[in-house]
Chain A
């Protein structure tokens, strides 16, 4: 069974640009959640999508948005990039909700904002 796949692996952008990250969950998993990882801040929850509906949202500005498609693949978009958005963005999939059971993480997208 293929694991969680995130693309691209690395991204370099400049301030003010926007970026779209992609996450393909494990086949059959309906939940995709997204996390921002920065040194010293751990894994900060961005949002969760379940069956194409946003289920929960973390404390991030509206510049961070996402969506989920009918095949459970998810995308995350960040508009008007700021230097502080530089981070590793991880997605995770699970059969049920992210709060209920084991999460399977992707390898992440390393975003650098210059």
Chain B
């Protein structure tokens, strides 16, 4: 079955710098890759997602890149701000197939003042 590995587990960056979180997946059939952000004590919320027919997607300071050949995808946050401090989860699934979505174990991002 699908396996998703996420690195690093913890990341500290200076405010204003960029942060990159990487995930690899095992099932080459996976074609949907969402990213969720969970602030302390709150529910996870989708921040961006990408489907396998594109290699990159941007939304303001957030971008996700996908390398299907290498089976990995990454979340990029530029010009980090204190409100970016949270746990980020990547996930992979196969759209349209009766199969489960698999999440990575999460990355705790600390934005340092």
Provide the bound-state CA to CA distance between A42 and B21, in Å.
15
The contact size tier of chain B is 20 to 34
Q: A42-B89, A43-B89 are in contact. Are A99 and B43 (CB under 8 A)?
A: no
Interface residue count on the A side (C-beta < 8 Å): 26
Provide the bound-state CA to CA distance between A90 and B36, in Å.
13
Closest Cβ of chain A: how far from B81's Cβ, in Å? 23
Provide the bound-state CA to CA distance between A55 and B98, in Å.
7
Closest Cβ of chain B: how far from A58's Cβ, in Å? 6
B32, B45, B98, B103: which contacts A42 (Cβ < 8 A)? Answer: B103
Closest Cβ of chain B: how far from A99's Cβ, in Å? 4
B-chain residues with CB within 8 Å of residue A56 when the two chains form the complex: 98-100
A-chain residues with CB within 8 Å of residue B96 when the two chains form the complex: 100
Point out residues on A near B: beta carbons under 8 Å. Answer: 4, 33, 35, 40-45, 48, 55-58, 90, 97-103, 105-108
Point out residues on B near A: beta carbons under 8 Å. Answer: 6, 9, 32, 34, 36, 42-46, 49, 89, 91, 93-106
